[in-house]
Structure 1
């Protein structure tokens, strides 16, 4: 669970109507989704297609970000395609979101979805066990050739804000599209490429922040907010950036030596816990103490600073680039432990999608007290 630092003002809500346009159930102001059928509130047209370049994302469940048709619709909305078949009996799910045979309500497509744009890149986003909705979001893209170019983005909605699920998906999708479009060309030097990609990440964060604002009315007590973490993989070069406490890790296969052979937490949190670690408090105490998950930077209307921390690393070994939300690292924060976990789950044959699903499943087995997002690229 992510929350903003208590000293900062809270963020706004996405308005709905008096009744759900799909099932007719009553809805309260500020709801983004109908509690009865799970439909998005507000009619909007499809978003423009993603920028050309990397392969478009393939998802097992379509999740479409759309924009308002007029100023009367406050901000952006997320349109979810309902499940076609009942998971209980296999019967057809009706337009109201309930099985026409046994009456069981179908789960929201947002509860668990996967993305696999190429064989070497995948992401899984899951509601977890304890939360009533999934406020995390992933967005990934990749060239077909393994080890070529990939974009991994994870955003975690701030749980104390309204419409954080809308904010996270809007931010992740926008950032991915910007990073797909802004590909440096003619820069063979790794340092030059690293600087150009870092600038692209800064631009992606700025536009992701604008996407969050577009999903947030100008007034309201709880402006939508989310964290941000991303990694751009180009061959042996990985450039990363973050705002908040979603993370980027490098997890090499066991047995390597030399530079890049050790599991490493690449990103640095913007959080109260990280501030305490910087003051000398040990990691376990800092990450489990009071306000440990209070973040000091985020994307949203009331953020004190939306400029990401960025960095880069050259990889000299096979392994995994991992971008994740705190729903995973809550249970395995240290890079060494996370590397051991990945090695035990991956073995020698796991695909990125199989490993991402296994990591999500493992987090849920530990209690699943938060939403879980895992994005992986195999190097």
Structure 2
């Protein structure tokens, strides 16, 4: 093969790649470039005066802007996400990133810890760094489980870097959950209480909340904490400058049939957490339609917190990452 089927003959017979699309003119292999969509750093309205802008602080009233939007929708067809401020929070401190690569789908959801300073800075930095590291690792042939660990470590580094010199005892911090979907498996990793659910045959919650109550409910021993309250849902692991734990728990599932992987912050699972009910909600519609529906469920339930929902289709289309 010496001609691109889409763009014709190269300008020189010595050229091995199409100058337009990058196709290998010898093997016919197309150029594989990851497709990424971010909740990102787009301009948002000031929560104080409503003035729009992209600077960190409002030019009109001086109030600090959120790193994220009050509402954002990300749609890459087979993977999509929605994030929303909810009804009671002054800003959206959740972050979500979705991506496609040759071999599968990737997403990260981070939930800013509301008791920390500038939690949105930690969540956005961690989400973006986590997906970037995941894609880099997968592109070099690293298996999904190890790539998941590398992504979490990069996210932890970014969350620590979000801390300024005067943050005190509550530097920016967040939770973290990632998902990788390939043609034959689903791999998730997490630190904190953002969750991953398999929605399909034998639906299940794939994560265990990093709280004392969450650990005990899963039949795991609680950490050796003095006077630990067995009902406490306070985080015992998170990402930030005040945490040194960057190793995620990692789970890989090989589903028996088609379905979806759901990643979400507690803004959703506070209202809807049963895997069977979540699967029923995801039974019809595209990933973006499912993400919108679940966000609406959380808002109509009260919207007490920020909401982040990512939906990844299984099996992923394309070649294997192995």
SS at match of 2:138: coil
User: Contact conserved, 1:121 with 1:150, CA < 8 A, in 2?
Assistant: yes
- Equivalents in 2 of 1:324, 1:275: separation in Å? 19
Aligned-pair Cα RMSD in Å: 2.9
Match for residue 223 of structure 1?
A: 171
Distance 1:133 1:291, change over 3 A: farther
Match of 1:55 among 35, 48, 58: 35
User: Contact conserved, 1:184 with 1:197, CA < 8 A, in 2?
Assistant: no
Matched, 1:211 2:166: no
Match for residue 155 of structure 1?
A: 110
User: Contact conserved, 1:297 with 1:304, CA < 8 A, in 2?
Assistant: no
User: Contact conserved, 1:53 with 1:181, CA < 8 A, in 2?
Assistant: no
- Equivalents in 2 of 1:108, 1:180: separation in Å? 23
- Equivalents in 2 of 1:58, 1:270: separation in Å? 26
- Equivalents in 2 of 1:184, 1:108: separation in Å? 29
Match of 1:138 among 96, 106, 118: 96
Report the CA distance between 1:301 and its aligned residue.
1.3
- Equivalents in 2 of 1:204, 1:326: separation in Å? 21
Distance 1:109 1:223, change over 3 A: closer
Report the CA distance between 1:341 and its aligned residue.
3.0
Matched, 1:200 2:155: no
Aligned pairs (5 A) from 1:9-158: 53-57=33-37, 63-64=40-41, 80-82=42-44, 110-116=69-75, 118-143=76-101, 148-158=103-113
Match for residue 326 of structure 1?
A: 266
| Of 313-322 and 160-169, the range deviating more from structure 2 | 313-322
Matched, 1:357 2:312: no
Match for residue 377 of structure 1?
A: 312
Match of 1:167 among 122, 125, 130: 122
Q: TM-score, normalised by structure 2?
A: 0.74
Structure 2 unaligned blocks of 5 or more: 1-31, 221-228, 315-322
Report the CA distance between 1:141 and its aligned residue.
0.4
User: Contact conserved, 1:240 with 1:310, CA < 8 A, in 2?
Assistant: yes
- Equivalents in 2 of 1:210, 1:218: separation in Å? 16
- Equivalents in 1 of 2:116, 2:53: separation in Å? 32
Distance 1:318 1:97, change over 3 A: farther
User: Contact conserved, 2:80 with 2:287, CA < 8 A, in 1?
Assistant: yes
Report the CA distance between 1:369 and its aligned residue.
0.6
Structure 1 unaligned blocks of 5 or more: 1-51, 65-79, 99-105, 187-192, 253-260, 281-288
Report the CA distance between 1:58 and its aligned residue.
6.5
Report the CA distance between 1:363 and its aligned residue.
0.6
User: Contact conserved, 1:53 with 1:180, CA < 8 A, in 2?
Assistant: no
User: Contact conserved, 1:297 with 1:306, CA < 8 A, in 2?
Assistant: no
Report the CA distance between 1:218 and its aligned residue.
4.2
Could you report, residue by residue, the CA deviation over 1:212-259 in whole angstroms, capped at 9, with x for unpaired residues? 11110245231111000001111121111000011111101xxxxxxx
Report the CA distance between 1:376 and its aligned residue.
0.6
- Equivalents in 1 of 2:66, 2:157: separation in Å? 30
Match for residue 20 of structure 2?
A: none
Matched, 1:301 2:241: yes
Report the CA distance between 1:55 and its aligned residue.
0.8
- Equivalents in 2 of 1:125, 1:204: separation in Å? 21
Report the CA distance between 1:299 and its aligned residue.
0.5
Distance 1:161 1:291, change over 3 A: farther
